Amino acid sequence: MIDIGDKVKRLRLKLGLTQEELAARTELSKGFISQLERNLTSPSIATLMDILEALGTDIASFFAPDEVNEKIVFSPEDMFEKDDEELGVKICWLVPNAQKNELEPILATIEPGGATIPDDPHDGEEFGYVLSGNIVIVIGNRRIKLKKGDSFCFKSIETHYIINPSKREARVIWVATPPSF
């Protein structure tokens, strides 16, 4: 259940408005705004629509799921894994449904001789951190060697992928923006 009073107050404060300023913009009293924010009164639909208009939003946005209630912590049970035995790579999406976010973190486990699928050029950036093993990141025609503890960061303007030329498994945290895995 949505806390209308709290949400109105948060929107008002986000805009830097006082209760008096919101009251003036909606032709309501400061006392009504105060009572509304403390959930001591409920607005009619028409009054709520006036308040939301003054706050620069609408009914649909106001009642949309609140980012404050969005899940922040993910356990292994939330994560999704895809094992590609042919390529010798296992991808674990660390944040489920990350496609709706601005970035997408994965854990790539690359077997000896394995590789990730080449990613075509796209807008955005890539960041990675080698947790274990040795890898080669291929960016366009460049091949860059990395070892445990190294990180990488680059604009995604060329085809790019990771290979594991060593005899040991490699594990890499890889974050793409926007999501592309």
Q: Which domains does the chain have, with CATH numbers?
A: 4-69 (1.10.260.40), 76-177 (2.60.120.10)
Tokens, residue 55: 């706050």
Chain position carrying tokens 């296992």 = 90
pLDDT digits (tens, 9 = 90+) for 111-170: 999 999 999 999 999 999 999 999 999 999 999 999 999 999 999 999 999 999 999 999
Nearest to 126 by CA among 104, 147, 148, 155: 155
Alpha helices in the chain (DSSP H): 4-14, 19-26, 30-37, 45-54, 59-63
pLDDT digits (tens, 9 = 90+) for 22-59: 999 999 999 999 999 999 999 999 999 999 999 999 99
Tokens, residue 65: 């799921």
Coil/strand/helix, residue 92: strand
Rounded to two decimals, the pTM is 0.63
